[in-house]
Amino acid sequence: MRALTATALAASFFLSPLFRPAQQRGVVLAFRNVDVFDGSRMIRRTSVLVRGGMIRAVGPNVEVPPSAEVIDGEGKTLLPGFFDAHTHLGETQGEQFLKDALDFGVTTELEMWGSRHSLALRKVAGGDTEMADLRLAGIGVTVPKGHPTQMGGSSFPTLSPGDDVQAFVDARIAEGSDYIKIMYEHAFPTVTKQQIEDVVAAAHRRNRLVVIHISNQSDARDAIEAGVDGLAHIFADSLPEQGFAEFAAQHHVFVIATLATLESITFAGAKPWWQDAPHLTPFITPSMRRSLELKFPPGFGAKLKLTNAEAAIGALHRVGVPILAGTDVPAPGTAHGLSVHRELELLVRSGLTPVEALASATFEPARAFGFYDRGRIAEGLRADLVLVNGDPTVDITATRDIVGVWKLGVRHQRPSK
């Protein structure tokens, strides 16, 4: 272990749960008579005590100090704040996106390619109780003229043949990347399978995970074979081939589903789902609505079918591949925070039980990405919490009926639009 410098010690103190703004340190909260989804199972009619931004006790006999604000949970379910395991913040609206996310119960976003703007936000988002927390890939790995260089924005470094892969990966880690994202997309020039293997080796040497963009089954197979830790999308070009799911399971990958965006890409109906979600629509801001009303260009994804993606998620899930709820917001037709609720519903449609779908947005991403401070309701974890009416372990759409959102034990005032 490297010795900690005084500066590092000071920094770790300010990032630690011991350091909280005054209004958080004093807050004592108690949820009583509440059903708790703890990240993997339901605990009926119990109590949860929160102090100083952390969960201090869970159980039927929790002692509630007289100073506590007591919240009656009768008929309600308390859940860990949700993850969205595939998002983008862009270069200008990141802060607003993280606020939108929190409005809908998402307390942690995992960005899957970003800019210097998100690298800066990453430093403040953790302790800010008005926006979701953030972990990120930063600048990912692509080749000159590769995806997403066609999308414009600020220029960023790319990996050319013969470049030192370790130096490239180390530069990303030095910039602040929490994990490494590779773009493997044959609609454009793209990395070779050898380069994927080299990036995986370079990242693993530094204890960093590697996630990869793929958009078809054959690329998914290549990427898994090359040793990546996770797929950042499921494919929708074909039904899963015989043995694909078992192959993925043997290689211990996780899969971020992004069904919400695949639905938007393939949507041909008249009325998108969110127009029929009365618990959500009052909280949709004008900028979210613009994103929801955007459409992919005509013909984009013409060969894709949502049912292929759902079948693949179902098959992977049946053989034990961890499925993570992620949306790829703000792709056209999606919006930060809101789209997670649709993702959960589509995961249930793919064959996950509601309990498993809820785990895919809480415990599973925490486990896959190595967060030990969140994703569950248990003593000693961050009090990032969502309280909803009803029982989402029976009807997954109950996640939409949000009573309250807390980050670090501080109630987030959801603005009604």
CA dist 354 and 37 (Å) reads 11
CA dist 375 and 256 (Å) reads 16
CA dist 212 and 207 (Å) reads 16
Q: How far is the CB of 232 from Zn ion (least distance, A)?
A: 6
77 versus 261: smaller Cβ distance to Zn ion: 261
Q: How far is the CB of 29 from Zn ion (least distance, A)?
A: 35
Q: How far is the CB of 254 from Zn ion (least distance, A)?
A: 16
Strand partners for 387: 78, 404
195 versus 334: smaller Cβ distance to Zn ion: 334
Coil, helix or strand at residue 272:
coil
CA dist 243 and 409 (Å) reads 45
Using the structure block, give the residue that is written with the tokens 């969502």: 386
DSSP secondary structure string, 141-188? B--TT-TTGGG-SS----PPTT--HHHHHHHHHHHT-SSEEEE--TTS
Q: How far is the CB of 332 from Zn ion (least distance, A)?
A: 12
- Any residues with CB less than 8 A from the CB of 146 and at least 6 apart, and which? 158, 183, 185, 188, 189, 190, 191
- Any residues with CB less than 8 A from the CB of 299 and at least 6 apart, and which? none
- Any residues with CB less than 8 A from the CB of 193 and at least 6 apart, and which? 222, 225, 226
Name the closest residue to Zn ion (Cβ): 328
- Sign of the Cα pseudo-torsion (153, 154, 156, 161, in order): positive
DSSP secondary structure string, 200-267? HHHHHHTT--EEEE--SHHHHHHHHHTT-SEESS---SSPPPTTHHHHHHHTT-EEE--HHHHHHHH-
Could you tell me if 48 and 384 are in contact, meaning their C-beta atoms sit under 8 angstroms apart?
Answer: no
113 versus 273: smaller Cβ distance to Zn ion: 113
Q: How far is the CB of 213 from Zn ion (least distance, A)?
A: 7
232 versus 377: smaller Cβ distance to Zn ion: 232
Q: How far is the CB of 132 from Zn ion (least distance, A)?
A: 17
50 versus 253: smaller Cβ distance to Zn ion: 253
Q: How far is the CB of 86 from Zn ion (least distance, A)?
A: 6
Contact positions vs Zn ion (CB under 5 A): 112, 328
Q: How far is the CB of 113 from Zn ion (least distance, A)?
A: 6
Q: How far is the CB of 371 from Zn ion (least distance, A)?
A: 20
CA dist 332 and 261 (Å) reads 8
CA dist 230 and 258 (Å) reads 13
34 versus 212: smaller Cβ distance to Zn ion: 212
334 versus 393: smaller Cβ distance to Zn ion: 334
111 versus 401: smaller Cβ distance to Zn ion: 111
38 versus 328: smaller Cβ distance to Zn ion: 328
